[in-house]
Amino acid sequence: MNKKTKRNLLFGLLTSLLFITTACGGEQESNAGSGEEGTTVTFLTNNEVNLEGVQAVADEIKEKHNITTKFEIIPSGGEGENIIKTRLSTGEMTDILNHNSGSLFKSLRPEEYFLDISDEPYIDKIQESFLETVSVDDEIYGVPFESALAGGWLYNKKVYEELGLEVPHTWEQLMENNKVIKEAGKIPAVAPYEETWTSQVVLLADYYNVHSEMPDFAEKFTNNEVKFADTPLALRGFEKIQELQKAGYYNDEETSTTYEDGMRMVATGEAAHFPILTFALTQMAENHPDEMDDVGFFGQPGDDADNHGMTLWMPNGIYINKESENAEAAKTWLEYFMSEEGLATFMSKTKAIGPSVVEGVELPDDAYEAVKDMTHYVESGKVAPALEFLSPLKGPNLQQITVEVGLDMVPAKEGADKYDRDVERQAQQLGLEGW
């Protein structure tokens, strides 16, 4: 997995983290099944998506419903985004589209281009935390393509067992654990700042604690009605980064410590904690397969032990082109994909790196221990989408600012002020009202 992919995921361009062998701009067709020629639906996706799971589902759809799926592959990132917008505006979009959820989805004007699927029978089993990222007003346009990602803390269970520690449910408890870990001669928390994007995670993963107390924060933030620096709940994310530094809980030489170092350190128990997004589990399993059962997960704690939740980076959605001549076949496609059988087939080919946002989906026995640890957050409803899925605003210089705070080069409040100014410039470039 390359650095570009990791950065794209962190900034909201959330896609699968495996590889495909299909070339950019190519097509791949499901040929399973037999009998008379039926309907063919076209399915647009990007070149970072692993097609193995969705291809297996498409093969079953061919066999059971005589619907053939033709995949069209486009580049990821900004180039792919421009292709999608052009094809929507010119009426040349495929029958089905795999694309981001959240603010990037809403920038496509879904009410104009996508089919409302609010009344489909499978909608009731999709978690509300995902539905709000694929909805406009009361209309729902998408289903989840895969599992979500969680932002929080990977931790070494052997270290916790050795030191007699329990999973913390408040920030104070986490800092107390860090003190014990440091006294035992281990690194409490990895800061792999050679790759600066990692410095943002403590701030971004803290958003559940903001959202649960201020559910309208994202709307007010977008409308220039609240700032990070002037909102104590939001400022806490910057303060937590700095508190870890001032207490001496980060590793030495942060700026030369790599993302790969961070995975190694927490997997082997050299470090107890690694604040990160859980797409790290895929590469960690490749590099440290024998240690994966020792790696657990907990959401970033706030101040209320009874409200310990988890911030989610939502999966891509699958959407139906409103102008599709094969809309009924596309609806059948989505219905089968969301069926118990379809989801089981998909999951058998794609290992989850986060919780499912579909109720009733059970993790396989060989799921990562860290993913199993996420289940109770979802079941108790203590999850929230990351801020970037609810607001189009994410200042481009955030990672540089959080490095400055994490290295104690600037105080947390000054870092928050700098970020607010960064967001203001971005909002003006986007032409948002109120800025």
φ, ψ dihedrals at 274, nearest 5° = -145, 100
Instruction: Give the distance between the most distant pair of CA atoms in the chain.
Output: 71
Query: CA 132 to CA 218: how far, in whole Å?
Result: 12
C-alpha angle with apex 203: 267 to 168, nearest 5 degrees? Answer: 55
Is residue 93 exposed (0-12), middle (13-18) or buried (19+ Cβ within 10 Å)?
buried
Residues 198 and 126 in one domain: no
Residues 76 and 195 in one domain: no
- State the DSSP H helix or E strand holding residue 155, giving kind and residue range, or none if neither: strand 149-156
The pair of structure tokens assigned to 257 is 């410590």
Query: CA 319 to CA 4: how far, in whole Å?
Result: 25
Residues 97 and 203 in one domain: no
Residues 155 and 297 in one domain: yes
Per-residue pLDDT of the chain (435 residues; tens, 9 = 90+): 444 444 444 434 333 333 333 333 445 554 443 334 689 999 999 988 888 999 999 999 999 999 999 999 999 888 988 999 999 999 999 999 999 999 889 889 999 999 999 999 999 999 998 999 999 999 999 999 999 999 999 999 999 999 999 999 999 999 999 999 999 999 999 999 999 999 999 999 999 999 999 999 999 999 999 999 999 999 999 999 999 999 999 999 999 999 999 999 999 999 999 999 999 999 999 999 999 999 999 999 999 999 999 999 999 999 999 999 999 999 999 999 999 999 999 988 888 899 999 988 888 888 999 999 999 998 899 999 999 999 999 999 999 999 999 999 999 999 999 999 999 999 999 899 999
Amino acid at residue number 141: Y
- State the DSSP H helix or E strand holding residue 320, giving kind and residue range, or none if neither: strand 317-320
Closest-CA residue to 205 (of 379, 356, 353, 383): 383
Residues 56 and 139 in one domain: yes
Secondary structure class of 28 (helix, strand, coil) = strand
Q: Please check whether residue 368 lies inside any domain of the structure.
A: no
Task: With 0.85 as the threshold, say if the pTM is over it.
Answer: no
Residues 213 and 275 in one domain: yes
Question: Strand 96-99 vs strand 39-46: parallel, antiparallel, or unpaired?
Answer: parallel
Q: Please check whether residue 374 lies inside any domain of the structure.
A: no
What's the domain count of the chain?
2
Residues 235 and 100 in one domain: no
Residue numbers of the domain that contains 94: 3-148+314-362
Residues 287 and 331 in one domain: no
Residues 99 and 77 in one domain: yes
Question: Strand 187-189 vs strand 295-299: parallel, antiparallel, or unpaired?
Answer: unpaired
Q: Please check whether residue 203 lies inside any domain of the structure.
A: yes
Closest-CA residue to 174 (of 257, 267, 298): 298
- Answer positive or negative: Cα dihedral of 380, 381, 387, 388: positive
